[in-house]
Amino acid sequence: MPTTTDDKKYASVHYNDYLQLHKVLDAQYPRSEELGVEAHDEMLFIITHQAYELWFKQILHEMDSLMQMFRQNSIDEKSISTAVARVERINEILKLLVRQIRILETMSPLDFLDFRNYLLPASGFQSFQFRKLEALLGLRTEGRITYGQKDYKEPFAERQRKELEAIEAEDSLLQLLEKWLERTPFLEVGDFNFLKAYAKAVRNMYEREKAAILATDIDDEHKQLRLRMLEANQAYFKNVFSPEYHQQLLDEGKLKLSYKATMAALFINIYRSEPILQMPYRLLAALVEMDEWLTNWRYRHAQMILRMIGKKMGTGGSSGYDYLKKTAEKHHLFFDLANISTLLIPCSEKPELPEELKQRLGFYFTANQP
């Protein structure tokens, strides 16, 4: 009797076959063992990095889903909820990757030196999956710290280089997020103009804080110090109200998100308790957290390298610790979202929304509805 599709669908499967364990568990080949000078800790080194690559694969799987959602011209509430779940899952994986460094650090520097020379010129720089993740998030060639004046795509095969070039030619997650934020419809509704209302709230906050400083029972020197600090903050707020100044910072590479997208992110943060904005706020917060964990991972990686080889050159030809430390400092992708915190004002100061807008941001039902 012929086998049907349903028969195949529900046929029994063995645990080992389902997980392809014959491939996974037979993929560790310590070079020190091949050379007849077995170094015990090389197995730990291999398995740890293989685990990293498996988790990178899962992160890329989540990223593919995110990119598909945000490429749509219209994203509904349900999709934002799914996007939040995807990013939060990535963040949990990144936390695990940071903790995994501690397992690798159970290997002493001397144990690592037993097999390090056998790795040349292999290097983490050759992790195609991690470079692909960076490119998908929005790290472009011109924004990267290089080593030896080499293009980051150089270590890869032609097919992989072309894939990275194709990714850079398309919108990154950062760019797709920018377009999504720019479509935020609530910045102007009827007579309500968010930027004008926000600017007025900032002025009121400044006047109250200034009055509080002047009324405080401290000496004139400390009063003047606090007033100068307040003026410095006020100058920052004034710059925020200038699209031209914002564009200047974009041109200088100091910002990444457009003025409209930044103001939309500010609106979402200030009114995050409104029902329709709760998921968008969680998404922005999760992306900031993702950036933090990626930075944390880079920094912990750099610290581990310092512990293991000091200031020696990396196996891939980089300066090792110094290079990795610089990437942790510079390769931030969503810092514009994190910087929104600078612009936040106390809840007691935020402008009151008109009733029409509150209804659009909430879930209102009349008594006549079933």
323-332: per-residue pLDDT in tens? Answer: 888 888 888 8
pLDDT (0 to 100) of residue 7:
61
What's the whole-number mean pLDDT along residues 179-183?
A: 94
What's 97-124 look like in SS3? Answer: HHHHHHHHCCCCHHHHHCCHHHHCCCCH
State pLDDT tens for residues 284-338.
999 999 999 999 999 999 899 888 888 776 555 556 788 888 888 888 899 999 9
Confidence of residue 3 (pLDDT cuts 50, 70, 90): low
What percent of the chain lies above the pLDDT cut of 70?
93
Q: What pLDDT, on a 0 to 100 scale, did the predictor assign at position 89?
A: 98
**Alpha carbons 12 and 32: distance in angstroms, whole number:** 40
pLDDT of 38-60, one tens digit each?
Answer: 999 999 999 999 999 999 999 99
Q: 52-91: b or e for each residue (b if 16 or more CB lie within 10 Å)?
A: beebbeebeebbeebbebbeeeebeeebbebbbebbbebb
How much is the pTM? 0.89
User: Per the structure block, which two tokens stand in for 150?
Assistant: 């080499």
Residues 152-172 have a mean pLDDT of 94
Please tell me the distance from the alpha carbon of residue 329 to that of residue 74, in angstroms, as a whole number.
35
Tell me, what's the pLDDT at 96?
Answer: 97
